[in-house]
Structure 1
Amino acid sequence: MSGLRAETLLELARASGATVTTAESCTGGMVAAAITDVAGSSEIFERGFVTYSNAAKTDLLGVSPVTLEVHGAVSEEVTREMAVGALQAAHATVAVSISGIAGPGGSEFKPEGRVCFGLATRDSVQTKTVEFGAIGRAEVRAAARDEALDLLVSALRDRQV
């Protein structure tokens, strides 16, 4: 199913001349892999960032250590900064970011299956949180990958870029 989403993304990005980048934490590059699985993806995808640690988020994407300390890595505030940082670093048209708790584990305040997303364009930044629940690590990661692809497709369909 992610292949169809990625193919649609490629078609829409080509049609609008858009370029795409990713900033991933809990998915570990799964969104970038889904995009680059599609032949011709090099036309719209130059690079992605796997920033699993807080240090990587800060060093590669410019996420503020204060934001990380105050809100934690799994927060809309952090995914906002991740998306903006990726957009700027990659000189892309649209960026998606992901940070979440794939499991096992979590806490009362940040349960397993919580994933935060950011979507940045030159004109706007949006964030959202999805509670996938304790459905298993692989399932949370796959669902987060698909949600990120859907966010990118929607942004291009709605001509937000």
Structure 2
Amino acid sequence: MELLETVTQYLNDNELVLATAESCTAGLIVSELARVPGSGQTIDCGLAVYSPEAKNRYLSVSFDTIERYGLTSEETSRAMALGAIDNNNADVAIANTGVAGPGAPDDIPVGTVCFAWAFRHQAQLYVYTRTHRFSGERNEVRLAAAHHALELVPKLHREVLEGKAPPV
């Protein structure tokens, strides 16, 4: 709970509003953050977008990106984060797509999750992408991925503020 309280406090202190576009965590990022009293003012929305059609419909992720790079790719998570920040009233967007298990398509190891964090600062967008592999059963992977996504928000946002992030 300490992580969730720390992130909520950071979002509140910096007057940031969050949107998520979640595939493998299926809304768990927003759900976890919502456990903290006072977090409601930091959340705009949380989208659970599993299918390619949902990613396209709600986030404008092109089918070409999905076909070229795959559903589990940093390119797809990047497009999801940009779609989430563009289509909502948010300063921060977190997106993920991955394989929580039990099976893995296309020889992608179970536990592989691709993340993207998009930030809007002074009318400019910044995006980070990362891939991480988590161990454990399906729901352990999902929870670890949700916490990982939230944990990096303050660090990455500080990099944006310090001018260390490349603009989109």
TM-score, normalised with respect to structure 1: 0.91
Identify if the C-alpha distance between structure 1 residues 85 and 108 changes in structure 2 by more than 3 Å, giving closer, same or farther: closer
Matches within 5 A, 1:35-114: 35-107=33-105, 109-114=107-112
Structure 2: which 5+ residue stretches go unaligned? 162-168
Matches within 5 A, 1:113-152: 113-122=111-120, 123-133=125-135, 135-152=136-153
> Alignment identity in percent?
38
Q: What one-letter code is carried by the residue in structure 2 that aligns with 1:160?
A: V
* Distance in 2 separating the partners of 1:21 and 1:103: 25
Q: What one-letter code is carried by the residue in structure 1 that aligns with 2:36?
A: V
Checking the alignment, whether the CA contact within 8 Å between 2:26 and 2:50 is kept in structure 1 is yes
In the alignment of these two chains, the number of paired residues is: 157
Deviation string, structure 1 residues 8-38 (Cα, Å, up to 9, x no partner):
1111111111111111001111101011111
Root-mean-square deviation (Å) = 1.4
* Distance in 2 separating the partners of 1:51 and 1:142: 17
* Distance in 2 separating the partners of 1:109 and 1:153: 33
TM-score, normalised with respect to structure 2: 0.88
* Distance in 1 separating the partners of 2:51 and 2:3: 28
* Higher RCO, 1 vs 2 (CA within 8 Å, ≥6 residues apart): 1
Deviation string, structure 1 residues 119-142 (Cα, Å, up to 9, x no partner):
101231110100124x21111111
Three-state SS of the structure 2 residue aligned to 1:160 is: helix
Identify if the C-alpha distance between structure 1 residues 87 and 113 changes in structure 2 by more than 3 Å, giving closer, same or farther: same
